[in-house]
Structure 1
Amino acid sequence: MSGIAALVLAGGRGERLGGVRKAQLKLGGKRLVDRAVEHLARHCTPVVISTGALDPALLSLPAGAIPLPDLDLPLAGPLAGIVAMAEWMERQGNPVDLVVSLAVDTPFAPEDFVARLAAEIGGAPAAYATSGESFYPTNAVWRTATLGALLTRVRSGAPPRSLRAFLEEIQSVEVDWPGTHGDPFANVNTLADLLALELRGSGSA
């Protein structure tokens, strides 16, 4: 068993964006979901897209990406996407050692994002990205065994409170990226965020 699979967490409802799905937002003329898939596909296979509760057929996903809806469980947010990936990996026979997750609204993820996480996880169950004081539990690398343990917990009726709580509980490794030219994991929660990132991408900020 070797290799790295990737999961794009794209199931957010975009409630603070007027209900617009984050995955469909464009930055520099390109959808956020296309940016994320292109980035991860350079380093990982397969690339799976967590679509949340929405019908994947409505998202017009990039070619080659595998859509993955949430399971019918009382979970929400990125935790639901990670658990769905754990169950999908189990059904595939856990064909890889590691799974990298990336939030879809992270258009400036560093080029070495996958390589550094995979290198620095060491013997830990997981590793996640930080930048300065900011903590990004969605942008992480997971051992397949860790995902299996999470799935077992959920099935037993004892899921963690959140993705962040789970990462802290299992003593995951922090991997820090300096924000010399802005936070590399800056994301989109509001239209103001989108505008700021558009300016950053154009070199105007």
Structure 2
Amino acid sequence: MTKPVGLILAGGLARRLGGGDKGLIEIGGRPILARLIERLGPQCAALFLNANGDASRFARFGLSVIADEREEFAGPLAGVLAGMEHAASHFPSTCDLLSVPADTPFIPNDLAARLIEARADAGARIAVAASAGRAHHAVALWPVSLAGDLRQALADGERRVSGFIARYENVAAQWPTTPYDPFFNVNRPEDLAEAEALAREADVLFQ
């Protein structure tokens, strides 16, 4: 199995958390980004970060940082496009991009393998992670060959990740939500306390 190139989407504005970088928030004494790198890194041929602004704020994590090409905030699809084009130019032997948002500290360690399997079984172009009957469209396995289509879709005004995915044959791979939902994301201030409790359980199980 060829490993995909991994992309952590950290280009969001975190408005509901008062701004800043959600990936730098500490959960259980560790930044979310550190948790993501630990879980996602072994699943990928290479791992890099999509973020805008001063890249030096992420220097301690040792990842290459790529910015959105579009100056206006175009959402996660712009980050996926940047990731596809970076992967195509720097990792030409790898044909897939695995994207994960920077606010998901408990990503499963079988994410890449199960998305690859689900896509192959369904004969689909894109595979999306799902839990509790809900698709998490930013957690997806994409062929980098869709970069041209995505560039055009963004130019035409498409901003919804789900909207772009719906243009192609796609499949959702389901994960259980016990003992915890692996796609829990820190999106609001009230999520922080829950994330701390989940981290204690997840850290024991992940060892």
Instruction: Return the TM-score normalized by structure 2.
Output: 0.87
Judge conservation of contact 1:89–1:95 (CA < 8 Å) in 2: no
Q: Which residue of 2 aligns with 1:57?
A: 56
Q: Report runs of 4+ in structure 1 exceeding 6 Å deviation.
A: none
- For residues 25-104 of structure 1, the aligned pairs below 5 Å read 25-51=25-51, 53-63=52-62, 65-74=63-72, 76-92=74-90, 94-104=92-102
Judge conservation of contact 1:3–1:97 (CA < 8 Å) in 2: no
**Structure with more helix by fraction:** 2
Q: Which residue of 1 aligns with 2:24?
A: 24
- Equivalent position SS for 1:140: strand
Q: Which residue of 1 aligns with 2:205?
A: none
- Equivalent position SS for 2:82: helix
Judge conservation of contact 2:6–2:97 (CA < 8 Å) in 1: yes
Q: Which residue of 2 aligns with 1:117?
A: 115
Aligned pair count reads: 199
Give, in angstroms, the shift of residue 148 of structure 1.
Answer: 4.0
Aligned mates of 2:168, 2:127 — CA distance in 1: 10
Give, in angstroms, the shift of residue 61 of structure 1.
Answer: 4.5
Judge conservation of contact 2:124–2:170 (CA < 8 Å) in 1: yes
Encode CA deviations 1:78-98: one digit per residue, 9 max, x unaligned: 111001112223333633021
Give, in angstroms, the shift of residue 128 of structure 1.
Answer: 0.4
Aligned mates of 1:85, 1:61 — CA distance in 2: 21
Give, in angstroms, the shift of residue 18 of structure 1.
Answer: 1.3
Aligned mates of 2:176, 2:3 — CA distance in 1: 27
Instruction: Return the TM-score normalized by structure 1.
Output: 0.88
Aligned mates of 1:56, 1:173 — CA distance in 2: 34
Are the structure 2 counterparts of residues 32 and 48 from structure 1 closer, same or farther at C-alpha, using a change threshold of 3 Å? same
Judge conservation of contact 1:12–1:21 (CA < 8 Å) in 2: yes
Judge conservation of contact 1:8–1:104 (CA < 8 Å) in 2: yes
Aligned mates of 2:110, 2:201 — CA distance in 1: 21
Are the structure 2 counterparts of residues 166 and 149 from structure 1 closer, same or farther at C-alpha, using a change threshold of 3 Å? same
Instruction: Give the counterpart letter for 1:50 in structure 2.
Output: N
Instruction: Give the counterpart letter for 1:16 in structure 2.
Output: R
Gaps in structure 1 of 5+ consecutive residues: none
Judge conservation of contact 2:50–2:79 (CA < 8 Å) in 1: yes
Judge conservation of contact 2:131–2:175 (CA < 8 Å) in 1: yes
Give, in angstroms, the shift of residue 57 of structure 1.
Answer: 1.4
Give, in angstroms, the shift of residue 152 of structure 1.
Answer: 4.6
- Equivalent position SS for 1:169: coil
Give, in angstroms, the shift of residue 153 of structure 1.
Answer: 4.1
Task: Say whether 1:139 aligns with 2:132.
Answer: no
Bigger drift between 38-47 and 66-75 goes to 66-75
Q: CA RMSD in A?
A: 2.0
- Equivalent position SS for 2:6: strand
Are the structure 2 counterparts of residues 101 and 134 from structure 1 closer, same or farther at C-alpha, using a change threshold of 3 Å? same
Percentage of matched positions with identical amino acids: 30
Are the structure 2 counterparts of residues 20 and 70 from structure 1 closer, same or farther at C-alpha, using a change threshold of 3 Å? same
Aligned mates of 1:97, 1:91 — CA distance in 2: 11
